[in-house]
Amino acid sequence: MLVAGALALVFLFLLALSPVVREETARGLHPFANAALPLAFLLVPYLTAFLLLARTDRRGLVASGAGISSVLFVALILVSRWSLLLVFTWAGLSGNAYLIAALAVLILFFADAVWVLWCSLRHAANSWASFLAAAAVTAGYLWFGFPVIQLWAYRSAQRQQQARAAQTMTYLQARDAARSALESLTACLIEYRASQPAGEFPSSLSNLPRSLTLPSGKPCDSALADPGAVPQYRFTYSPEKDAASGKLIGFRLLAMPVGKGMDYVNPMLSDARGRIFVYERWFATEQGEHLVPLLTEQPSDLDNSRLLQLRAELQFSMKNKGLERPPPSLAAWHTNSDAEATDAPDSLKEGPYLVKYLPPRLEDPTRFALSARCQSYGEKCIRSFFFGYDGGVHQTVEPRSATAEDPLIPDCEKYGQTCRDVDWAVP
């Protein structure tokens, strides 16, 4: 029994060092705190049996201790089977040294428990009446008491999960508020530059005039970046100066979390190109997870417009139906798109975008064009796109429809890849 107790302590110690417990703790759960009462519940018959078995001068007490230990270790053997399978799965999937060691200790505990059970049955001959009475009391204690203890542990874990879920929801709301502020301020900065004769960005956010508004009428409020305006985030505006002319030709607007470890709260950055980058997984590096932060563009305006997908669907439909020319209107093209129809026969609503189909021109009846204009500028999108008759995809960050005169999208976006062309060192 002493060996069994020592093995149990070593198992719990190894489990505490494993990534399983660290991840649970990082999620706001406390597995050992929840297990404290069940362990204490099992410790009562364990200590009682040990003390009775130590009274070698009283055969009846020894038999009683044997009766208690036999029922207790039968229960522990039954529980150990499931624990053995669970730890075996954890160790196999993770390859963690602590879990592998815990698995070995659990196997030894299982073998030792079988030996304790055998020895307990041998001691029953000292007094079968005492043995059976103690075994019956222990069985009743475990049968009626353990479900109550399990229910308490379950409800405790449930309360922790609910608290964690509420906390995560708070973090998600802070993240969404930060992204909304970042999008709005980025659009306002681009609008400010368009209104300036010199085409410069402001030297600070406080220079944004109060009269400046987005196309929706939403005012450009620089207070969105003030300390404490968005919980869990702080904003930093850095204008970029042209070395030759000294003009402020660009900027970086950073929304930085106040700390790591908050669920899904990651750094966000926008620039004069109207693109928002996020360091995904950054938050998880403080939660016991071995993840490498990944720089992604979120939201991806081009993906949200579905311009490239619509182009591919139309081209595939033409090829599948053996059409040499594009349809004369969007209404004549049967598409599987989930886009919302509009009153105009050549327009679709794709999320925050209004997509228009431009039919073939007389001088080139084999080509068509598509336009995707952002309808919620600075709130759900910033860039607008134009798939030209020449096959190129053009973009603009201004609140208007893109044209063939606007610059082309970068190749990484053209081929459906995440553009990581940002030199951004995140702590």
In 163-247, DSSP assigns E strands to 233-241
What is the rounded average pLDDT of the residues 224-235? Answer: 93
Indicate if the pLDDT at residue 395 is higher than 70: yes
Model confidence band, residue 339 (pLDDT cutoffs 50, 70, 90): low
- The answer to whether the beta carbons of residues 193 and 200 sit under 8 Å apart is yes
Place of tokens 């997984």: 281
Six token digits for residue 319: 């090829």
What is the rounded average pLDDT of the residues 179-192? Answer: 94
Place of tokens 């040294």: 97
What is the rounded average pLDDT of the residues 254-265? Answer: 90
pLDDT of residue 330: 76
At residue 137, the 3 state secondary structure works out as helix
Torsion sign across C-alpha atoms 248, 180, 176, 293:
negative
Torsion sign across C-alpha atoms 50, 55, 59, 60:
negative
Q: Helix 2-17 crosses helix 97-123 at what angle (to 10 degrees)? A: 160
Count of CB atoms situated within 10 Å of the CB of 40: 10
Model confidence band, residue 16 (pLDDT cutoffs 50, 70, 90): confident
pLDDT of residue 312: 87
pLDDT tens digits for range 124-165: 888 888 899 999 999 999 899 888 888 888 888 888 888 888
Indicate if the pLDDT at residue 412 is higher than 70: yes
Could you give the CA distance from residue 199 to residue 249 in angstroms, rounded to a whole number?
8
pLDDT of residue 170: 93
Length in residues, the chain: 427
More confident residue, 338 or 165: 165
| Region of poorest pLDDT, from 25-34, 100-109, 299-308 | 25-34
pLDDT of residue 347: 86
- The answer to whether the beta carbons of residues 28 and 160 sit under 8 Å apart is yes
Could you give the CA distance from residue 36 to residue 38 in angstroms, rounded to a whole number?
6
Model confidence band, residue 12 (pLDDT cutoffs 50, 70, 90): confident
- What single-letter amino acid sits at 44? V
The mean pLDDT value of the chain amounts to: 86
223: β partners? none
% of the chain residues with pLDDT over 70? 93
- The answer to whether the beta carbons of residues 113 and 2 sit under 8 Å apart is no
H or E segment to which residue 386 belongs: strand 384-387
Range with top average pLDDT, 229-233, 317-321, 423-427: 229-233
Indicate if the pLDDT at residue 407 is higher than 90: yes
Model confidence band, residue 338 (pLDDT cutoffs 50, 70, 90): low
* Among 269, 270, 301, 278, residue whose Cα is nearest residue 383: 301
What is the rounded average pLDDT of the residues 374-396? Answer: 93
Upstream peptide bond of 299 is cis (omega within 30 degrees of 0): yes
pLDDT of residue 341: 61
pLDDT of residue 22: 72
Could you give the CA distance from residue 424 to residue 162 in angstroms, rounded to a whole number?
36
Could you give the CA distance from residue 261 to residue 269 in angstroms, rounded to a whole number?
19
pLDDT tens digits for range 88-113: 887 887 788 888 898 899 899 989 98
pLDDT of residue 324: 79
Edge-to-edge strand order for the sheet containing 294-297? 233-241, 248-257, 268-271, 276-280, 294-297
- The answer to whether the beta carbons of residues 255 and 268 sit under 8 Å apart is yes
Place of tokens 């893109």: 402
